[in-house]
């Protein structure tokens, strides 16, 4: 089985993600019960060029779901430096504040660097269809 989380902080982040998306139970229960619905929409990385620790972002497919929120990246606040977008027709928007607050920046494809303006600044994010 592939390594799913880079570190314990990431597990807390995923629990938060499942909570934010309204799934019941623990991340373990959600991953088995909702395996058919949830996919890895994107992978966030600690460093530029997809380096360092990684954080899989599980959500429903962007092309069949409305905007989905991770309102607080928890242990991954102020960490994200690059993003690999896996979902189809998926735009990932990073926010400098929790609950989609503050400054925002959208990514429509893999980004080896989120830019000086957003490096280590994201505290929440959304997935939407484009």
Stretch that binds Ca ion, among 2-10, 15-23, 65-73, 118-126 (CB under 5 A): 118-126
- Element at 69 (helix H, strand E): strand 68-70
Regarding 111 and contact with Ca ion (CB under 5 A), the answer is no
Per CB under 5 A, which of residues 20..49 are in contact with Ca ion? 46
Position of tokens 């430096």?
81
Q: How far is the CB of 30 from Ca ion (least distance, A)?
A: 27
Closest CB to Ca ion among residues 12, 19: 12
Q: DSSP letter for 116, please.
A: T
Q: Are 93 and 106 in contact (CB under 8 A)?
A: yes
CA gap 117, 36 in Å, rounded: 36
CB 24: neighbour CB atoms within 10 A? 10
Q: How far is the CB of 23 from Ca ion (least distance, A)?
A: 27
Q: Which residue is nearest to Ca ion (CB)?
A: 81
Per CB under 5 A, which of residues 63..82 are in contact with Ca ion? 81
Residues that bind Ca ion (CB under 5 A): 46, 81, 120
């Amino acid at each position: 089985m592939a390594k799913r989380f880079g570190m314990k902080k990431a597990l807390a982040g995923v629990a938060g993600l499942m909570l934010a998306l309204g799934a019941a139970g623990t991340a373990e229960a959600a991953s088995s019960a909702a395996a058919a619905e949830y996919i890895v929409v994107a992978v966030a990385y600690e460093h530029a060029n997809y380096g360092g620790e990684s954080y899989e972002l599980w959500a429903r497919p962007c092309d069949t779901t409305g905007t989905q929120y991770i309102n607080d990246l928890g242990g991954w606040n102020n960490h994200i430096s690059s993003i690999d977008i896996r979902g189809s027709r998926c735009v990932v928007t990073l926010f400098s504040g929790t609950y989609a607050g503050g400054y925002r920046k959208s990514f429509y494809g893999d980004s080896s660097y989120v830019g000086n303006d957003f490096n280590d600044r994201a505290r929440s994010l959304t997935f939407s269809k484009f």
